[in-house]
Amino acid sequence: MADPISYNREEKGAQPPNLFPPYVSSIKRAPQQRLLLVPQTLSEVTGPVYGHSKVLPDDSDLTRQHQGAPLGERIIVSGRVLDENGRPVPHTLVEIWQANAAGRYIHHGDQHPAPLDPNFTGAGRMLTDAEGGYKFVTVKPGAYPWRNHPNAWRPAHIHFSLFGPSFLTRLVTQMYFPGDPLIPHDPIYNAVPDKKAAARMISRFNFDTTMPEWALGFQFDIVLRGRNATPMEQ
């Protein structure tokens, strides 16, 4: 069997290092040995085609998962999932999770004394369409404090998890909101060395996806690793 067509490696500066001391949790959890550069084999260029049977239509509307409507500013988060060559990534699973409008996660480990909302769980999932498009309806998450350093606050964010077509395209990231004054102070955001690359994580307010008298639209396009144009000699 011929060697598989490989994927581009990590874009320099666009991905955070394992160790970023201002993010204190990375200090004891970052490997100290250099990562071992390995060839991309069939094991890496394949990957899970996951979740198709488990995704329900209502899973993408986080405001309709309970009897009542959740409190907070209703928003529409939409965008496209593309690869580095600009090609859409169709039919791939997108999972999101977030705090409620008060900045509290439903998670048992979240002890922030902000109210839970009985009408909001904060988890959603859907598959991208044939053009790589996705759309979630939710509420804008609140900022919340954490104990990384004195008076530390996470900027409002939505967690995203994506698979793409291979083991190599797997991505877990966070989407931020434009104009958030906490972003420049956030060590997780700042762990991305290239500031232009980091800014790709900030969504864009979009009048075109804003629904009149209903919800503000934020656009967040996601770019996964793409395939090399030509097969690479190994």
Partner 1 sequence: MSFGQTPSQTVGPFFHFALPYNGDEVLVTDRTLGERITIEGTVLDGESEPIPDALIEIWQANAAGRYDHPDDQQDKPLDPAFHGFGRCPTDKSGRFHFHTIRPGPVPGPGNTLQAPHINVTVFARGVLKQLVTRIYFEDEEKNADDPILGLVVEPERRATLIAKKKSGDKNVYVMDIHLQGTGETVFFDV
Report the candidate in 115, 118, 76, 111 with the shortest Cα–Cα distance to residue 96. Answer: 76
Query: With binding defined as CB under 8 A, does residue 167 bind partner 1?
Result: yes
Longest Cα–Cα distance in the chain: 58
**Do residues 231 and 54 lie in contact, with contact meaning Cβ atoms separated by under 8 Å?**
no
d(Cα 228, Cα 85) in Å, to the nearest integer?
Answer: 9
Q: Does 147 bind partner 1 (CB under 8 A)?
A: no
Catalytic residue flag (residue 157): yes
Rounded to whole angstroms, how far apart are CA atoms 167 and 38? Answer: 14
Instruction: Go through the chain and tell me how many residues it has.
Output: 234
The helix/strand/coil state of 60 is: helix
Task: Say which of 74, 125, 154, 225 is annotated catalytic.
Answer: 154
Of the ranges 31-39, 68-76, 128-136, 206-214, which one interacts with partner 1 (CB under 8 A)?
31-39
Q: Which is nearer to partner 1, 30 or 211 (CB)?
A: 30
DSSP code per residue over 137-155: EEEPPPPEEESSSTTEEEP
Footprint (CB under 8 A) of partner 1, residues 71-110:
82-86, 95-97, 99, 105-107, 109-110
Q: Which residue out of 144, 189, 225, 227 is catalytically annotated?
A: 144
Residue whose CB is less far from partner 1, 32 or 213 = 32
Judged by CB under 8 A, the residue of 76, 137, 139, 191 near partner 1 is 191
Q: Does 145 bind partner 1 (CB under 8 A)?
A: no
Please state the closest distance from residue 131 (CB atom) to partner 1, in A: 15
What is the nearest approach in angstroms of partner 1 to the Cβ of residue 14?
5
Q: Which of 89, 102, 168, 202 binds partner 1 (CB under 8 A)?
A: 168
Please identify, using beta-carbon distances, which residue of 11 and 73 lies nearer to partner 1.
11
Per CB under 8 A, the list member of 72, 122, 141, 217 interacting with partner 1 is 122
44 to each of 39, 82, 170, 214, how far by Cα in Å? Answer: 9, 19, 11, 43
